[in-house]
Amino acid sequence: MGTFRSAPGLSGREPSADEAALVARLRAGDARAFETLVITYQHRVFGVALRMLGSRAEAEEVAQETFLRAHRGLGEFRGEARLGTWLYAIASRLCLTRLASGARRHERSDDAALLRMPSPAGDAAGALERQELSAALHDAIAALPEERRIVVVLRDVEGLAYEEIAEALGLELGTVRSRLHRARLDLKSKLERFLP
């Protein structure tokens, strides 16, 4: 594979001044700061859990546990990484642990809620096709091996940089690239019939 250069979306971003202030307030035990954290990251954390687990109920459990662990472990947050990366790391670990444990209570995924393709109004045939494509995409992502699925979700759905993914998952950068590429090729092969 080629050499990766530093490009937008690939390298880890430094915490902003606002985020540094939020971290300081969180460490000081400011309840409002924690509320801000939850409000800011709730959808992203929930999204990762939903795409990994395929069940809204289970995803909510994991997302809630993610924030509770963050609340308890604020003292361990070094502040070098972004808060989002830290939360993604917690959520990813929880998802992978739950998937590996085999003790899942919600085996069936919520197909309709998992993936939604944006659709312009007034295009019935297109909407049907998009619905079918959305289901196929969901199936394709769900069929990915978990270690590849988490990488593609963090990169292509959540938009994390490679470095952030590596940090969140505790992987080497090369491993992240490799898994991501293989995941994308897997998806492409599963979506062949929708592609020109």
Residues that bind other proteins (CB under 8 A): 1-5, 7-10, 31, 34-35, 38-39, 42-47, 50-51, 56, 59-60, 63-64, 67-68, 71, 113, 115-118, 133-134, 137, 141, 152, 155-157, 159, 162, 177, 180-181, 184-185, 187-188, 191-192, 194-196
Q: Using CA atoms, how far apart are residues 82 and 185, in angstroms rounded to an integer?
A: 30
**What is the nearest approach in angstroms of other proteins to the Cβ of residue 134?**
8
In terms of C-beta density within 10 A (0-12 exposed, 13-18 middle, 19 or more buried), how is residue 193 classed?
A: exposed
The candidate with the shortest Cα–Cα distance to 91, out of 68, 72, 109, 108, is 68
**What is the nearest approach in angstroms of other proteins to the Cβ of residue 147?**
16
Residue 16: what residue type?
A: S
Q: Using CA atoms, how far apart are residues 91 and 168, in angstroms rounded to an integer?
A: 9
Q: Is the CB of 76 or the CB of 192 nearer to other proteins?
A: 192
Q: Is the CB of 17 or the CB of 108 nearer to other proteins?
A: 108
The candidate with the shortest Cα–Cα distance to 163, out of 152, 153, 174, 178, is 174
Q: Is the CB of 81 or the CB of 152 nearer to other proteins?
A: 152
In terms of C-beta density within 10 A (0-12 exposed, 13-18 middle, 19 or more buried), how is residue 45 classed?
A: buried
Q: Is the CB of 75 or the CB of 118 nearer to other proteins?
A: 118
Residue 66 · residue 45 · CB < 8 Å: yes
**What is the nearest approach in angstroms of other proteins to the Cβ of residue 86?**
16
Q: Is the CB of 80 or the CB of 174 nearer to other proteins?
A: 174
**What is the nearest approach in angstroms of other proteins to the Cβ of residue 107?**
20
**What is the nearest approach in angstroms of other proteins to the Cβ of residue 18?**
19
Write out the two tokens for 150: 């988490």
